[in-house]
A and B are shown apart, each in its own frame.
Chain A
């Protein structure tokens, strides 16, 4: 059973600030890492994925992966009130593609 741990938050940041979200995972064989955003009562929506160690940037979002430390993070730059949501970290392994999710970190961006 893959364990995925996230700080539950809530994380409150002022508009325009950087929100930093962290995630650790237990299975060293995990290959792919995903960040989903989930608004209350809605389904997970993919923000970005990362497979290789290092940083990956997509607009205001940057994912960072460190496989040696079994750690993946998400930075949200220039946070907007519309970024207020729960952010889910998910991982899958080499031989299976089921996603194991963390409990999510709730982010509130204060206007």
Chain B
């Protein structure tokens, strides 16, 4: 069964460093998302991406964040200068064109020290 994959599964970084989180959505899906979940809190929407551009972003998704689909398969989230409060699980999700269900990847646990 097709699934969303994410790498790395864990990332530890120093405050102020740049990180890139990678996702490979399900191959025929057209819509891509990033969510995050701070430990013990709810899952929060960050950004949605369609047709090679951002379709919507949340207040969390400030200038320190960017997304890119550098090729036909990968979808990346970059955090330019990480802060302690960026420590969270980051989930990538994708959905097909005709359905509304989003399928989540296993997540990247980011720890900023």
Contacts and interface: CB of A to CB of B under 8 A. Distances in A.
Contact of B105 (A32, A43, A101): A43
B12 interface: no
Nearest to B44: A101
Interface residues of A, number: 22
12 contacts: A36-B104, A43-B104, A44-B43, A44-B91, A46-B102, A96-B48, A97-B31, A97-B100, A97-B102, A99-B93, A101-B43, A104-B42
Contact of B107 (A42, A92, A98): A42
Contacts, number: 52
Nearest to A51: B100
Contact of B41 (A45, A92, A99, A103): A103
B95 A42 contact: no
Given A100-B45, A101-B44, A102-B42, A46 B91 contact: no
